[in-house]
Amino acid sequence: MDNQDLKNRFGIIGNSPLLNRAIDVAKQVAPTDISVLIQGESGSGKEVFSHIIHQLSARKHGPFIAVNCGAIPEGTIDSELFGHEKGSFTGAHEARKGYFEVVDGGTVFLDEVGELPMNTQARLLRVLESGEYIRVGSSKVQKTNVRVVAATNVDVFEAVKKGKFREDLYYRLNTVPLRIPSLRERKEDIYLLFRKFVVDFSDKYRTPGVQLMPDAQELLTNYSWPGNVRQLKNIAEQIAVLEKERIVSGVILRNYLPVESNTTNLPMFVKDQNKEDFSERDLLYKVLFDMKKDMVDLKKLVVELLQNDANPTTFDQNSPYINQLYQEVVPNTPPSTLTIHNPTNVNPNNSYMAIDTQDAEEVEESLSLIDKESDLIKKALKKHKGKRKSAAQELGISERTLYRKIKDLNLE
């Protein structure tokens, strides 16, 4: 059977080289019993190719069943595929045959095989390797003779890398890969498909025929068609039923296409929320740092103003504000030890002020533990007016210990 006869039999429209290549692969692999993994986007016609493989094989007189693995709940997928025994789980009122038992001698088409749970994948791998399976709730091994044709619209190899699909099952299913081209990869077929669909729907709904103007044909061809043939068929049905104008222009056709058709297929810029937050945080830090710098500059200015006063007594050096200011501008130097010189003596390269600390007397504080202890006891006794019990509680020691320390330190 040549390709055109095959296309007519299975309703395939198009002459794209990629489409013809996929048909050739399906024809070559059909007579064998090896597993086939059909890969293609959703709506590209993967199930049609599973029928081609089955009808051109020696199993064409056997049963064929298509199973959408993504539509079956995870808790019941094993029962659907391999069957179960009576009472094996809640609701199992009687034994049930699974698809692999029912389709013995035929072909099972597992659509969206990438959605299978990991446990089910292990059971499927055993069927592919030895033809054996076990019903849910049973310990008896059963045999089956089925051919598995699987399909997926996801990158199974990437799923293997992420640990979501068994690597051994991937290679067992992917004995012969069959890739179905997307509709945007076969642009020369888009208008042919559209004409076929609108004719079929016009006959079905008894509506006048539809013609596309050149600008509408161009728009139809250059649209990305994320839903592939299924989406194109839906658009053709809508136009055949709803459109009053039977000569459709590009403006009219655009109304039936999703809004993203007005944009290019360039990647859309997505705002990085984390990056935005980070920039705002950086801006806040910058403002705070600038405020701190301004405060330092202000303090330097105040010091320079004080320095330019020939009489150092015009400000109170004992003021806590002056003390804090000098501590920040000239750390570890109390204002009482500073001598403010006449502005003529100021070093012009110094942005602060000329300060003479040569005559400053450095008073060392006693670090003796005994002296510190004696001072604390004295303060506690003074605070509590000589009441030793209260003073001992204040110091956190016993009254007996306080008596002993008063005696040892000669504090009587």
Range of weakest confidence among 166-180, 207-221, 267-281, 373-387: 267-281
pLDDT of residue 369: 67
Residue scoring higher pLDDT (392 or 80): 80
Q: What percent of the chain has pLDDT over 90?
A: 56
Structure tokens at 331: 């750390």
Q: Where are the domains of the chain?
A: 3-181, 185-262, 273-345, 369-408
The mean of the pLDDT values for the chain is 81
Average pLDDT over residues 31-48: 93
CA–CA dist 296, 379 (Å, integer): 40
Per residue in 121-163, pLDDT (tens digit) is 999 999 999 999 999 999 999 999 999 999 999 889 899 999 9
Examine domains 3-181 and 185-262 and report if their fold is the same: no
Considering the four listed CATH numbers 1.10.10, 1.10.760, 1.10.3470, 3.40.50, the one that applies to the domain covering 369-408 is 1.10.10
Per residue in 300-316, pLDDT (tens digit) is 777 666 666 544 444 45
Range of weakest confidence among 47-56, 172-181, 200-209, 402-411: 402-411
Helix (H, G, I), strand (E, B) or coil at 310: coil
Range of weakest confidence among 38-42, 84-88, 252-256, 264-268: 264-268
The CATH number given to 185-262 is: 1.10.8.60
pLDDT of residue 23: 95
pLDDT of residue 262: 44
Q: How confident is the model at residue 366 (pLDDT cuts 50, 70, 90)?
A: low
CA–CA dist 220, 216 (Å, integer): 6
Considering the four listed CATH numbers 3.30.2320.20, 3.40.50.300, 3.20.20.140, 3.40.50.970, the one that applies to the domain covering 3-181 is 3.40.50.300
Other beta carbons less than 10 A from residue 40's beta carbon: 19
Q: How far is the CA of 1 from the CAs of 7, 24, 33, 94, in angstroms? A: 10, 11, 20, 46
pTM more than 0.85: no
pLDDT of residue 319: 55
